[in-house]
Structure 1
Amino acid sequence: MKLSIERAALLKAVSQAQSVVERRNTIPILANVLIEAEGNDVQFRATDLDIEVVDKAPAMVERAGATTVSAVTLHEIVRKLPDGAMVTLEDGGAGRLVVTAGRSHFDLATLPKEDFPVMASSEYASNFSAPAPVLRRLFDKSKFAISTEETRYYLNGVYMHVAESENGRVLRCVATDGHRLARIDAELPEGAEDMPGVIVPRKTVGELRKLLDDDELKVAVSVSETKVRFATPDITLTSKVIDGTFPDYTRVIPTGNTKTMEVDASDFARAVDRVATVSSERSRAVKLALDEDRLVLSVNAPDSGAAEEELAVAYGDERLEIGFNAKYLLEIASQVDRENAVFLFNSAGDPTLMREGSDTSAVYVVMPMRV
């Protein structure tokens, strides 16, 4: 194998591959990236046995072939090479890969390509394509609510499924950790009608985000009961899905909340952040006291002090005092793209609903705290 490739193209491909690789490995081959050169392309394939990413880049291939080399080492070398450099990768024989660029020369240990595990391709029940900005919104707005509790492994991802909404059938992403919940809807893409509901793992959601930066891109999505695949012309990301049943989230979304508060989302987030400064890290409880068109945010931490801030809001219901975890409020407020956040309350002990203005395609639920 011998090929030449531009540094920028190589860096882009290798950085996507190396981020999938687990830093601590008991199986040495899993620390490597499989390089396959043929025709006018070179493919970089990396896996942790749950996720596989294949990144394709244009290259001048003198001799077709394949080998595997440490993903992290190759990435570090390429990252430190000067901009615009032409990089040559050549199989040096005797278990070595020779990397040259200008006056730099590296000799890296390789492992046999035959040992590299390739994820078995499965039959996908559903294939459709969606614009990158649509998928980005679905996952970006829901991922903050993914649970990190390993015991409730079925909450360690985003539940992507087809659902009924008041505007017909939609493609929906839901995440929850029991304290807060995010439910985001998008128009149902053609071909997705029979898609099985799948729980996309947290790590996959993070890796997928790197594919979705280009607003012009269409992403091909394939879903089966056990796997999900996202593909752009250059990158294919395949992942196992979480083997579990996502709970019936519709039961926790309150429908009878009638006390409505409308507030400027960024003003609200900044005020919460300011008053939470004095609270002890552990509880971080912020009290919201609502009265006719005014909101008083307060924190009382006996060991460190107290803080209070008043905001003008649109509120016309009876007086209400309710407490929340400051971190949860901030995370939810930061999801709002429009100017105004609308909070719907019932009582101090009931879950609160939040949405962006009159838009019901993004709904958030947060559980209150005793204050």
Structure 2
Amino acid sequence: MKLTIERAALLKSLAHVQSVVERRTTIPILSNVKLEGRSGRLSLNATDMDLDIAETVPADISQPGATTAPAHTFYDIVRKLPEGSQVEIEFKPDDGQMTLRSGRSKFSLSCLPVEDFPVLSGGEFPFSFTLTSSELKALIDRTRFAISTEETRYYLNGIYLHAATGSDGAMLRAVATDGHRLARAEVTMPEGASGMPGIIIPRKTVAEVRKLIDETDGEITVSLSETKLKFAFADAELTSKLIDGTFPDYERVIPTDNDKVLDVDCKSFAQAVDRVSAISTEKSRAIKLSIERGTATLSASSPESGSAVEEIEATYDSTPLEIGFNSRYLLDILSQVEGETARFAMADAASPTVVREVADSSAIYVLMPMRV
């Protein structure tokens, strides 16, 4: 294999694929990225056996071929080359080394046989549909902050994607929860998605897909089976195993009859929460919300730091209520509200609170209160 490629193009693709590769692995081939040059394009492929990413990039191929090279070392070298430089890559099967030249620099990397590289991307995908990049971005951003990091509850370590019926008809819905908060977002059901099984997309896959969305404007094709999921972008394809578990019946924890409704200006409320939480203890991050007609008072206190109180204007017509929240969880939710007004629907100080954007019903958040 022999080819010439622009450093910027190679670096961009390498950045995507090498981030899948684990720093510590007991299987040597999984530390490598597979390189294949043919028909004017260089294909890069990396996997950790749960997640596989393949990306193609234009290159001047003078001799087609394939090899595998140490992913992180290769990426580090290309990253440190001068901007605007050309990179020459040559692999000779007889010496098992890949030579990389750029300007006056020359590197030799030890390669492993390309036949040893595992294939994850094959198999049948009976369900397939397309989403715009903005739709997929909204589904991910509005839910991923609530993904659990507790490994024992592995079935909560991802986003649950499934077909559902909402107030506007058939919807594609994404849900995540860690037991303290829940986030649910939905988009209109795309053609081909109805009848799909409910799937749990792993946290690492969600993070890698989100990176790729930032660099695409077009449509993304989503294909899935009972055990695997594939996202096809313009020049990249990401295949992932799914979490093998049952997502809990989340509908049961979303209250429908919370009658105490508080409307606040989202931006000023979030800023007030942020300021007052500076006093709360690092461990609990607890703040108290005292609500009366026309006002909401935020307060926090800790034995070490002192106390803080801030009052903001609010729309509230029910009986006075005092309720406590984890300020970080509250800020995570408020950061997803793009409109001006956030609505809190509460029952009492011990029951789950429902948060949503007044102008947009496509997302809903549930937050468990704290004792303060």
Same fold (TM over 0.5): yes
Superposed, which structure 2 residues align to 1:177-196 within 5 Å? 177-196=178-197
CA offsets per residue over residues 208-254 of structure 1, 9 Å max, x none?
01121246311010011000100112000000000000000000000
Are 2:290 and 1:293 equivalent residues in the alignment? no
**What is the DSSP-based 3-state SS (H/G/I as helix, E as strand, rest coil) of the residue aligned with 2:282?**
coil
Rounded Cα–Cα distance in structure 1 between residues aligned with 2:143 and 2:198? 16
Q: In the alignment, which residue of structure 1 is the partner of 2:16?
A: 16
Q: In the alignment, which residue of structure 1 is the partner of 2:71?
A: 71
Which shows bigger deviation, 113-122 or 204-213?
113-122
8 Å Cα contact 2:288/2:325 also seen in 1: yes
Q: In the alignment, which residue of structure 1 is the partner of 2:2?
A: 2
Rounded Cα–Cα distance in structure 2 between residues aligned with 1:112 and 1:288? 62
The alpha carbon displacement at 1:304 in A equals 2.2
Q: In the alignment, which residue of structure 2 is the partner of 1:334?
A: 335
CA offsets per residue over residues 176-196 of structure 1, 9 Å max, x none?
001000000101111111221
Q: In the alignment, which residue of structure 2 is the partner of 1:302?
A: 303
Rounded Cα–Cα distance in structure 2 between residues aligned with 1:102 and 1:111? 26
**What is the DSSP-based 3-state SS (H/G/I as helix, E as strand, rest coil) of the residue aligned with 2:330?**
helix
**What is the DSSP-based 3-state SS (H/G/I as helix, E as strand, rest coil) of the residue aligned with 2:111?**
strand
| One-letter amino acid of the structure 1 residue matched with residue 8 of structure 2 | A
- Seen in structure 2, the aligned counterparts of structure 1 residues 342 and 289 have a Cα distance that, compared at 3 Å, is same
Rounded Cα–Cα distance in structure 1 between residues aligned with 2:352 and 2:57? 49
The alpha carbon displacement at 1:339 in A equals 1.2
Superposed, which structure 2 residues align to 1:274-293 within 5 Å? 274-293=275-294
The alpha carbon displacement at 1:120 in A equals 5.1
Are 2:187 and 1:211 equivalent residues in the alignment? no
**What is the DSSP-based 3-state SS (H/G/I as helix, E as strand, rest coil) of the residue aligned with 1:111?**
coil
| One-letter amino acid of the structure 2 residue matched with residue 71 of structure 1 | A
Q: In the alignment, which residue of structure 2 is the partner of 1:162?
A: 163
8 Å Cα contact 1:96/1:109 also seen in 2: yes
Rounded Cα–Cα distance in structure 1 between residues aligned with 2:120 and 2:231? 14
Q: In the alignment, which residue of structure 1 is the partner of 2:55?
A: 55
Q: In the alignment, which residue of structure 2 is the partner of 1:197?
A: 198
8 Å Cα contact 1:132/1:214 also seen in 2: no
8 Å Cα contact 2:30/2:117 also seen in 1: yes
Rounded Cα–Cα distance in structure 1 between residues aligned with 2:290 and 2:91? 69
8 Å Cα contact 2:339/2:359 also seen in 1: no
Rounded Cα–Cα distance in structure 1 between residues aligned with 2:2 and 2:26? 30
Considering only aligned residues, what root-mean-square deviation do their CA atoms show, in Å?
A: 1.0
CA offsets per residue over residues 128-154 of structure 1, 9 Å max, x none?
111011000101110000000111000
The alpha carbon displacement at 1:302 in A equals 2.2
TM-score, normalised with respect to structure 2: 0.98
Structure 1 unaligned blocks of 5 or more: none
CA offsets per residue over residues 240-270 of structure 1, 9 Å max, x none?
0000000000000000011111111111111
CA offsets per residue over residues 155-198 of structure 1, 9 Å max, x none?
00000111011111101000000100000010111111122110
Superposed, which structure 2 residues align to 1:137-148 within 5 Å? 137-148=138-149
Rounded Cα–Cα distance in structure 1 between residues aligned with 2:310 and 2:67? 62
8 Å Cα contact 2:298/2:310 also seen in 1: yes
The alpha carbon displacement at 1:21 in A equals 0.2
8 Å Cα contact 2:160/2:175 also seen in 1: yes
**What is the DSSP-based 3-state SS (H/G/I as helix, E as strand, rest coil) of the residue aligned with 1:138?**
helix
The alpha carbon displacement at 1:344 in A equals 0.7
CA offsets per residue over residues 318-363 of structure 1, 9 Å max, x none?
1000000111111111111111111111111110000011422100
The alpha carbon displacement at 1:303 in A equals 2.9
8 Å Cα contact 2:127/2:192 also seen in 1: yes
Superposed, which structure 2 residues align to 1:1-371 within 5 Å? 1-92=1-92, 93-119=94-120, 121-214=122-215, 216-371=217-372
Rounded Cα–Cα distance in structure 2 between residues aligned with 1:48 and 1:232? 20
| One-letter amino acid of the structure 2 residue matched with residue 255 of structure 1 | T
CA offsets per residue over residues 255-313 of structure 1, 9 Å max, x none?
00111111111111111111111111111110000001100000021232111100111
Task: State the identity as a percent.
Answer: 53
8 Å Cα contact 1:342/1:357 also seen in 2: yes
| One-letter amino acid of the structure 2 residue matched with residue 155 of structure 1 | L
Runs of 4+ aligned residues of structure 1 deviating over 2 Å after TM superposition are none
| One-letter amino acid of the structure 1 residue matched with residue 63 of structure 2 | R
